[in-house]
């Protein structure tokens, strides 16, 4: 079967993309508005953009409602030029889900998800204190790609729980990261090396 994105249409192409580009890590992006309101939202179009300088990228799509012209996360990043990305571990899955709901722009998603905003060292945006790993990011650039915005953030500080970091390596089993599969989620089912024996 061959599928033509132009014939599929936007909705079915999106469904194909989220069902075939799997599993996807989740960037739990925390920002603060210019008015001091904390914002927290998950995005699964996320990866490393550069190793030197260390740069992460998050694709932020358009709002699905008519509440505002752009998502609060994108507006806050544009206004403040900074943000933090928090890793969603399995114990935080329900809190992440709560933060993904359609909260009003003046709502504090940290409070809604019963999470603690922790002070960052370099950026003014808070990080999630309960997250096992957080990265403070300074905005590098925002690229418009079709209907979405690709946000590139230079990592300026990493925060990691002490027991997860040893000899330059992250203990992935203890991190227990949540991943995105189309409309559902996944967790680590086992780690192995290649070639298989």
Q: Is residue 83 situated within a structural domain?
A: yes
Q: Is the pLDDT of residue 86 over 70?
A: yes
For the segment 24-45, the average pLDDT, to the nearest whole number, is: 96
Q: What is the pTM of this model?
A: 0.94
Token pair for residue 48?
């490393």
Q: Do residues 187 and 177 lie in contact, with contact meaning Cβ atoms separated by under 8 Å? A: yes
The CATH number for 112's domain is 2.30.110.10
What integer pLDDT is reported at residue 67 of this predicted model? 62
Q: Is residue 38 situated within a structural domain?
A: yes
Q: Is residue 44 situated within a structural domain?
A: yes
Percentage of the chain lying above the pLDDT 90 cut: 88
Q: Is residue 192 situated within a structural domain?
A: no
For residue 185, give the H/E element and its range.
strand 184-187
Quickly tell me which residue has 């370099």 as its tokens.
122
For the segment 74-96, the average pLDDT, to the nearest whole number, is: 97
Q: Is residue 1 situated within a structural domain?
A: no
- What is the DSSP-derived secondary structure letter of residue 66? S
Q: Is the pLDDT of residue 111 over 90?
A: yes
Q: Is residue 117 situated within a structural domain?
A: yes
Q: Do residues 25 and 44 lie in contact, with contact meaning Cβ atoms separated by under 8 Å? A: yes
What's the CA gap between 116 and 127, in Å, rounded?
8
pLDDT tens per residue, range 118-157: 999 999 999 999 999 999 999 999 999 999 999 999 999 9
Q: 101: domain range?
A: 23-187
Helices and strands, number each (H, E), in the chain? 6, 14
pLDDT averaged over every residue in the chain: 94
What integer pLDDT is reported at residue 104 of this predicted model? 85
What integer pLDDT is reported at residue 68 of this predicted model? 65
Q: Is the pLDDT of residue 65 over 90?
A: no
Q: Is the pLDDT of residue 158 over 70?
A: yes
Name the domain count of the chain. Answer: 1
What integer pLDDT is reported at residue 106 of this predicted model? 87
Q: Is the pLDDT of residue 37 over 70?
A: yes
Q: Is residue 130 situated within a structural domain?
A: yes
For the segment 58-65, the average pLDDT, to the nearest whole number, is: 87
Q: Is the pLDDT of residue 72 over 90?
A: yes
Q: Is the pLDDT of residue 3 over 90?
A: yes
Q: Is residue 166 situated within a structural domain?
A: yes
């Amino acid at each position: 079967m061959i599928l033509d994105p132009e014939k599929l249409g936007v909705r079915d192409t999106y469904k194909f993309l989220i069902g075939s580009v799997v599993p996807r890590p989740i960037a739990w992006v925390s920002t603060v508005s210019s008015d001091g309101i904390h914002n927290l939202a998950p995005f699964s179009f996320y990866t490393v953009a550069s190793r030197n300088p260390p740069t992460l990228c998050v694709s932020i799509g358009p709002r699905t409602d008519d509440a505002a012209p752009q998502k609060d996360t994108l507006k806050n990043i544009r206004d403040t030029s900074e943000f933090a990305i928090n890793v969603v571990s399995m114990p935080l899955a329900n809190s992440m889900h709560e933060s993904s709901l359609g909260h009003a722009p003046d709502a504090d998603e940290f409070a809604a998800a019963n999470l603690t905003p922790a002070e960052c060292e370099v950026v003014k945006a808070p990080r999630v204190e309960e997250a096992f790993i957080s990265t403070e990011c300074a905005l590098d650039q925002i690229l418009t790609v079709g209907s979405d915005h690709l946000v590139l953030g230079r990592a300026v500080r990493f925060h990691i729980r002490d027991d997860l970091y040893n000899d330059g390596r992250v203990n992935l089993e203890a991190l227990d990261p949540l991943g995105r599969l189309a409309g559902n989620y996944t967790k680590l089912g086992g780690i192995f090396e290649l070639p298989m024996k």
